[in-house]
């Protein structure tokens, strides 16, 4: 059998790897800005490995946004893709496009124990859905289901665009401040890299502080250094992530657990574990008891999206036999 290739494509970077014998090989990260289209980036990736077009029989790409039809436009970068032209140019027999958080959810099936940190104790309930949620460039949300035949199913969605929930008078005041700036306030408007800076500015405006920090990295660094305003902002970020994750657990009956993924939260893992996330996660009034025993993990794996793309491709090829 020829090689297979998997990709996890974001706004800034495209990660590619070969998929052989159910494992990743030759992972490379390329900047999307350096290429006009995914075909060009993949051709460069293959050339760097000494492989020509036609060396790869099947490709699975994990892409942000709803995936359907012949044409796909990437939501966070300038790339576009036409399935037929893609396969012709790269001499590929099979192309599978999946939602990036479907890939992320499937990637949870490949985690090793040292690639996750416990945030809330518990035991995943067999047969129940699991929630996969992650602040990054935006806020991704996916659902993972174990099927009776041993396969896995990931349910895509656009859960990052739900309304931002309010659980306290302070959050109501912050929501009003955000609303005055944004109009409709989505969870993603706070729970993302840029959202952290948006939240910092809202706190400063509400409390009359002059904003001194100019990037999400500066906000998180200042919080870890103990700067009071930044500490409050990062704590509120964690609390709001808890509320959104908890809402998903109730909606889906997700007693299979919650996986916190993405590039933002691992940067302040210890702060997150000690934050009010767990309290906000389970603070649901008469339904608070539902959360007893629901585990939450912070995922630290390096390439879960690529691993999930490999699982998706493997399952798709197996079902076609």
pLDDT at 136: 87
Q: 164 and 245 share a domain? A: yes
Pick out the residues of the known binding site: 7-12
Residue range of the domain that includes 35:
3-105+303-320
Mark the binding-site residues for ATP, compressed into ranges: 7-12
Strand 116-120 relative to strand 296-299: parallel, antiparallel, unpaired? antiparallel
pLDDT in tens, 162-196: 999 999 999 999 999 999 999 999 999 999 999 99
The overall pTM is greater than 0.85: yes
| pLDDT at 1 (0 to 100) | 47
Per-residue pLDDT tens digits for 70-98:
888 887 788 999 999 999 999 999 999 99
CA atoms of 111 and 84, how far apart (whole Å)? 34
Do 274 and 178 have their domain in common? yes
What is the distance between the alpha carbons of residues 303 and 38, in angstroms, rounded to a whole number?
19
What's the CA gap between 106 and 179, in Å, rounded? 35
Whole-number pLDDT of residue 99? 87
Residues 124 and 205 in one domain: yes
The strand pairing partners of 299, in sequence order, are: 116
pLDDT score for 157: 81
189: CB partners within 8 A, 6+ apart: 164, 178, 182, 195, 198
Do 295 and 266 lie in one domain? The reply is: yes
Tell me the C-alpha distance between 313 and 321, whole Å: 13
Do both 315 and 265 map to the same domain?
A: no
d(CA 67, CA 74): 10
Q: Tell me the percentage of the chain whose pLDDT exceeds 90.
A: 83
Asked if residue 126 and residue 96 are part of one domain, the reply reads: no
With vertex at residue 170, the alpha carbon angle to CA 169 and CA 176, rounded to the nearest 5 degrees, is 90
Residue 201 Cα distances to 63, 147, 217, angstroms: 31, 45, 14
- For position 158, what pLDDT does the model report? 85
- For the chain, residues with pLDDT lower than 50 are 1
**Same domain, yes or no: 62 and 209:** no
Question: Who's near 176: CB < 8 A, 6+ residues apart?
Answer: none
The whole-angstrom separation of Cα 146 and Cα 229 is 43
Backbone angles phi, psi at 150, to 5 degrees: 90, -10
Same domain, 99 and 82: yes
């Amino acid at each position: 059998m020829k090689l297979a290739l998997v990709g996890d494509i974001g706004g800034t970077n495209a990660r590619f790897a070969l998929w052989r014998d159910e494992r990743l090989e030759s992972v490379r990260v390329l900047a999307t800005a350096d290429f006009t289209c995914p075909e060009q980036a993949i051709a460069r990736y293959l050339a760097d490995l000494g492989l020509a077009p036609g060396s790869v029989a099947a490709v699975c790409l994990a892409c942000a946004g709803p995936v359907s039809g012949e044409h796909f436009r990437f939501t966070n970068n300038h790339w576009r893709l036409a399935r037929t032209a893609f396969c012709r140019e790269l001499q590929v027999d099979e192309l599978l496009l999946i939602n990036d958080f479907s890939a992320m959810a499937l990637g949870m099936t490949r985690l090793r124990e040292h690639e996750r940190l416990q945030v809330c104790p518990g035991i995943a309930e067999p047969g129940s859905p699991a929630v996969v949620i992650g602040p990054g460039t935006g806020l991704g949300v996916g659902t993972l289901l174990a099927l009776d035949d041993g396969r896995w199913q990931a349910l895509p969605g656009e859960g990052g665009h739900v309304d931002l929930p309010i659980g306290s008078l302070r959050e109501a005041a912050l929501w009003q401040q955000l609303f005055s700036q944004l109009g409709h306030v989505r969870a993603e408007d706070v729970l993302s890299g840029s959202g952290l800076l948006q939240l910092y500015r809202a706190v400063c405006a509400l409390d009359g502080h002059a904003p001194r920090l100019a990037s999400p990295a500066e906000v998180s660094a200042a919080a870890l250094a103990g700067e009071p305003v930044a500490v409050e902002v990062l704590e509120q970020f964690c609390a709001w992530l808890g509320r959104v994750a908890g809402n998903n657990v109730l909606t889906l009956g997700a007693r299979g657990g919650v996986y916190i993924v993405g590039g933002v939260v691992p940067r302040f893992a210890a702060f997150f574990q000690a934050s009010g996330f767990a309290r906000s996660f389970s603070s649901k009034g008469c339904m608070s008891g539902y959360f007893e025993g629901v585990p939450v993990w912070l995922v630290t794996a390096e390439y879960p999206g690529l691993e999930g793309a490999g699982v998706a491709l493997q399952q798709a090829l197996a079902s076609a036999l």
